[in-house]
Amino acid sequence: MPAVTTEQVETRVIEALASFGPEADRITRESTFEELDIDSLDLVELAQIVEDEYGVVLKGEDMKEMKTVGDAIDVIVSRAD
C-alpha cells in the first residue's frame, strides 16, 4: 500500500462528505459532522469508501468518537500506514 498523505485523505474525505449533501467549500477540518448535517448513515458510507480506498476499517465505536472532519482524517491517516 503506497503511503497516503494527509492532504490526499483530506481531499478524498471532503469529496465524499460533499457527495452526501453539504457544499464542499463549507467543509473544513474544524467542521463538526453535526453542523454539516452528516449523520450516522453518511458515516457508514464514508467508512466503506475509506475501507475500499485505504484499507482502513472504521468500526461503530470509531465513528462515535469522531466529531469533526479533522478527527476522521487523523484516524484514517494514522491507520493507513
Measured distance CA(5)–CA(21) in Å, rounded: 25
Q: How far is CA 79 from the centre of its chain?
A: 13
Q: Whole-number minimum distance, CB 30 to other proteins, in Å?
A: 26
64 lies in the site for other proteins, by CB under 8 A? no
41 lies in the site for other proteins, by CB under 8 A? yes
Site for other proteins in 1-40 (CB under 8 A): none
Measured distance CA(55)–CA(58) in Å, rounded: 10
Concerning whether 39 is annotated as a catalytic residue, the answer is: yes
Please, what is the Cα angle at 34 between 13 and 54, to 5 degrees? 20
Catalytic: which of 25, 39, 42, 71?
A: 39
Q: Whole-number minimum distance, CB 13 to other proteins, in Å?
A: 15
Q: Whole-number minimum distance, CB 3 to other proteins, in Å?
A: 26
Please give the DSSP secondary-structure letter assigned to residue 36: T
